[in-house]
Copies of this chain bind each other. A is one copy, B any other.
Amino acid sequence: MTDTSPLATPFPTMPLIAGAVPRIARARYKTWDRCDLTFVTLDEGTTVAGVTTQSRCPSPEVEWCRAALPQGHARSLIVNAGNSNAFTGHRGRAAVEAMAKQAAKHLHCQEEQVFLSSTGVIGVPLPIDKAEAGLTAAFTAEPCSWEEAAATIMTTDTFTKGAVATAVVDGKTVTLIGIIKGSGMIAPDMATMLGYIFTDAAVAHDYLQQCLSAANKRTFSCITVDSDTSTSDTVLAFATGKAGNARLTSADDDGADAFAAALEQVCRELSHLVVRDGEGASKFIEVSVTGASSDESAHRIALSIANSPLVKTAIAGEDANWGRVVMAVGKAGEPAERDLLSIRFGETIVAKGGLAVADYDEAPVAQHLKGDEISVGADLGLGKGRATVWTCDLTHGYISINADYRS
């Protein structure tokens, strides 16, 4: 077991969500003595939205969720940890169908109202007997806390991750909570990792989807640990409707803005927690690009910086090696003019107009790099495009974790 990330933050105080009850059990997908199966029951009328990986090799769980999302209602969520069930062919699909069938029978619901995820090693079919025994145990288990559920979905994660927000909708206070796992094989351009958001708000599933997709674009899709996009990434949002507000159906509804903002806040906090638990991470890095030719261009340049091993190792070494940021801008394949470019560490502009700022004060830069929250900025000087992404540094810890994971 690796040590807890130095960037860990405490799990927040997390309220119950009426209509959503988590339980956990030991399916023993690996030879470990911990709970590894999470089972959440959702009351009738719960709506669901989701975003999934854009990998061309998705897991059967991802395919199941995609097929089930359009009908928009959920009665259950099952999450398996220790085995991703990805790239397992018909045996993997059979395992997913068996679990959905068992849960649907238990809850007297339709199979497509059961949502599933699995996370862990790729290529080993999820053992159906273990899954079924685990589910049977979960059905009769006492309800657990959200923190226990967050612990049960973890794999290489070193701390439990959750976020809470509230919004006033239609005069009622609605609560949103989210839990997430993810530490390696984390890259954007998708809905990333396994994340689950529950709210007691009443929200039509298509509007819930609209809010989640918009939030995803500015949160989960803006983080990267190692540029490697998983086969199993899934974020699902469930709305039980128990808060009693008039159902939100569009952005024009009273309170819709507050709800969307609260959802985005939960998504942002969850996505940052994944970066804070990035494999081997010792620094949390915010990369902001401004002055690009478009927002999309700024996003790609920001990712080029955030994914550069040379930038990430320099920051691990607390080295203000801004030349590597120039390199990463240059290689991004996006419009850039060397002689208009400026680079910032923290609040200090270190290079401007195609060369180093003469005699800039190194002290605040060195001080900033010694901290564990690093801010890197690049201004392209071309237009109004801007984007921010978040990543972590690249350290010996990442190598240690990943050169010996499967064995």
Interface residues of A (CB under 8 A from B): 53-58, 84, 86-92, 121-125, 184-185, 187, 189, 226-231, 307-310, 313-314, 316-317, 319, 321-324, 326-339, 341, 351, 353-356, 394-396, 398-400, 402-407
Q: Check B402 against A56 for contact (C-beta < 8 Å).
A: no
Task: Evaluate whether A56 and B87 lie within 8 angstroms (CB atoms) in the complex, with A326-B231, A399-B395 already known.
Answer: no
Q: Could you say which residues of chain B place their CB within 8 Å of the CB of A394? A: 399
The residue among A313, A353, A404 with the most chain B CB atoms within 10 A of its own CB is A313
Q: Is the interface of A mostly helix, strand, loop or mixed?
A: loop
Given known A-B contacts A86-B323, A321-B405, A403-B395, A56 and B330 have beta carbons under 8 A apart:
yes
Residue from the list B57, B189, B323 in contact with A338, Cβ < 8 A: B57
Closest 4 interchain pairs by CB? Answer: A122-B323, A89-B355, A57-B330, A317-B403
Q: Please tell me which one of the listed residues B55, B316, B402 contacts residue A327 in the complex, with CB atoms under 8 A apart.
A: B55
Known interface pairs A57-B330, A86-B323; 10 further A-B residue pairs with C-beta atoms within 8 A, sorted by A's residue number: A56-B329, A86-B326, A87-B354, A189-B333, A228-B331, A229-B327, A231-B323, A309-B398, A313-B398, A319-B406
A338–B185 CB distance below 8 A: no
Complex A-B: 22 CB contacts under 8 Å: A56-B332, A56-B337, A57-B330, A57-B338, A86-B323, A87-B351, A87-B356, A88-B355, A121-B321, A122-B323, A125-B355, A184-B310, A185-B310, A187-B331, A228-B324, A230-B327, A309-B398, A310-B402, A314-B403, A314-B406, A319-B404, A395-B403
Q: Knowing A58-B330, A88-B356, A327-B55 touch, does A351 contact B123 (C-beta < 8 A)?
A: yes
- Tell me how far the C-beta of A357 lies from the nearest C-beta in chain B, rounded to whole angstroms: 10
Q: Which B residue's beta carbon lies closest to that of A352? A: B89
Within 8 Å CB of A407, what residues of B? 317, 319
Query: What separation, in Å, do the CA atoms of A335 and B56 have in the docked complex?
Result: 8
| Cα separation A328 to B90 with both chains bound (whole Å) | 22
Task: Write out the residue numbers on chain B whose beta carbons fall within 8 Å of the beta carbon of A317.
Answer: 402-405, 407
B314 touches A405 (CB 8 A): yes
Query: How many copies of this chain does one complex carry?
Result: 2
A307 → chain B, closest Cβ, in Å?
A: 7
Closest to A341 in B: B57
Chain B min CB distance to A310 (Å):
5
Task: Write the nearest CB–CB distance from A97 to chain B, whole angstroms.
Answer: 16
B309 near A228 with CB under 8 A, answer yes
Measured CB to CB, the closest approach of chain B to A94, in angstroms, equals 12
Q: How far is the CA of A229 from the CA of B332 in the complex (A)?
A: 9
Least CB distance, A141 to chain B, in whole angstroms: 31
In angstroms, Cα B310 to Cα A184, docked, is: 9
A406–B55 touching, CB < 8 Å:
no
Q: Which of B55, B86, B125, B184 contacts A331 (CB 8 A)?
A: B55
Closest Cβ of chain B to A201, distance in Å, is 34
Give the complex CA separation of A328 and B57 in angstroms: 9
Q: How far is the CA of A56 from the CA of B91 in the complex (A)?
A: 48
List the B side residues contacting A92 at CB < 8 Å.
Answer: 355
| Most chain B beta-carbon contacts within 10 A, residue among A89, A123, A338, A403 | A403
Say whether B184 contacts A327, CB under 8 Å: no
